[in-house]
Amino acid sequence: MPRDAYVNGRFIPHGQAQVHVEDRGYQFADGVYEVIAVHAGKLVDEEPHLDRLDHSLGSLKIGWPMSRAALKLKMRELLRRNLVREGIVYLQISRGVAPRDHAFPKSKPRPALVMTTRHARAPNRALLDKGAAAITIPDIRWQRCDIKSVSLLPNILGKQQAAEAGAYEAWQVAADGTVTEGTSTNAWIVTKDDKLVTRSLSHAILSGITRLTVLGLAGEEGLKIEERPFTVDEARAAREAFLTSTTSFVLPITTLDGKPVGDGKPGALSMRLRDFYLRYMDAEPAAPEARLSN
C-alpha cells in the first residue's frame, strides 16, 4: 500500500522523507508534536488538539508554519492519500534549520513541519477483558510537562522499564509520593466511595485531550469527580484504576506493581466510561473533505 509523508510543504513517499541535519528538532529536541486519533475517517477532538499545539508552540516561542485552516487541509489530504480510516495522524513542528547554537537563531528560520499517518486500532479484546498492568517509577522529567515537547527520553526509559516488567504502562511518581501521569497516558482511580479522581492540570502533567473529553462525559453522567493529586497508596487501595490516551482511549488498569487493583478485573465504571467515549467518537461530526491539488 502506498504511503506518503508531508515534509515542509511537500507530499513525498514515506521512505524518502527526511529533514536537514541541522534541524533544531533533531539536534536539540527544539520542537513539539501532536497525535490525533482518526476514527471512521474523522479526526477525533481536532480542535482541542490544535489548541494544545498552539499552547506548546507559544510556550517555546515557535510560530505556526502555516495557518490553522491550511494545516487542517494538509492533514486531511495526507489521510486521503494514505487511505487511513482508523489510526492516527502525527505532526511535529520544530523551530527550523539553523547553524547549531543553543540560543534561538537570530535568522528566525521558518518552522519545520513533518506529518505522517499510521493505521491502528483500539487495544485488542483480550487486553480489555483482562485489563492492563502498570508499574510505578520515579518521575525524572523536567518541570514543564504541560508542553508536548519532542524531548521524550525520560518517557522512553519509563516505557521500556514497563515493557521489561511485562506491563503496559509506567505511572510516574513525584517526590511527594503522588502519581503525576503515565509515560504516554493520564492516570485515574475510582475510590471506594465511587469518586473519579485524576490529577489536576498544572505544569506537572500534560493536558490530555482524551482526559478532558472523559471528564466532560463523566460530568454529563453526573459522576462524582475530583481533580487532585492521588498517592501510590491510594491507587493501590482504589476500587478501580484506568488510563486515558489518544490511542488507548479508556483502558482499565487491573494490576499495579504486580498486585491487583480492586478485584483484579476491569472495573464497571472504567468500562462504562470507555463505552461513553466510544459512543462520543462515533457521534463526532464528519469534517469537510480536503480539496487540494496533487
Question: Do you know the residue count of the chain?
Answer: 294
Which one from 42, 72, 74, 148 is the annotated catalytic residue?
148
76 residue type, one letter: R
DSSP 179-232: EEEESSSEEEEE-TT-EEEEPPPSTTS---HHHHHHHHHHHHTT-EEEES--BH
In the chain the first and final C-alpha atoms are separated, in Å, by 18
3-class SS of residue 37:
strand
Q: Which amino acid is at 194?
A: D
Kindly give the pairing relationship between strand 179-182 and strand 186-190.
unpaired
Segment (H or E) for 71: helix 68-82
Q: What angle do CA 170, 175, 178 make, to 5 degrees?
A: 60
Would you say 79 and 40 are in contact if contact means Cβ atoms under 8 Å apart?
A: no
Q: Which residues contact 205 (CB under 8 A, 6 or more apart)?
A: 145, 146, 180, 181, 186, 199
3-state DSSP call for residue 253? Answer: strand
**Is 148 a known active-site residue?**
yes
The residues with which 5 forms a beta bridge, in sequence order, are 12
Q: What is the DSSP letter of 91?
A: E
CA distances from 57 to 48, 132, 173 (A): 14, 33, 27
Provide the annotated active-site residues: 148
